[in-house]
Amino acid sequence: MMRTKKKTYCAFCGKEIRWIRDKSSGKSVPVEPRCMCFIPDPNGQQIFIGLDGGARRGREVQDGLIGYHRHNCAMMPCHTILSDKEARNRCWA
């Protein structure tokens, strides 16, 4: 019997996700399990989460940096990541 790598599922919607640790904040970011290639582009239409957990605007290409789409969960109280950052910004304001 084939054993595949242990999968992670979103606790809120039950979809398969991956976690990428954001090196700058130490928080883990939920992303879609499928990785893709992108190049950073300030005019890009999409946001990619790089392997270092940093979010970059860019566009999808055949060959480039490895990135993931953030898991935008409809079921998740999805303000957690942003509001933490906002709260910290407010702390320092």
Indicate whether 32 belongs to the interface with Zn ion (CB under 5 A).
Answer: no
What would the x/- binding string for Zn ion be over residues 70 to 89, using CB under 5 A?
Answer: ---x----------------
Least spacing, CB of residue 4 vs Zn ion, in Å? 20
Q: Which two tokens stand for residue 28?
A: 């883990």
Contact between 75 and 12 under an 8 Å Cβ cutoff? The reply is yes
Q: Rounded to an integer, what distance in angstroms lies between the CA atom of residue 41 and that of residue 63?
A: 14
- End-to-end, the C-alpha distance of the chain in Å comes to 56
Window contacting Zn ion (CB under 5 A); options: 4-12, 18-26, 42-50, 60-68: 4-12
Q: Which residues bind Zn ion (CB under 5 A)?
A: 10, 12-13, 73
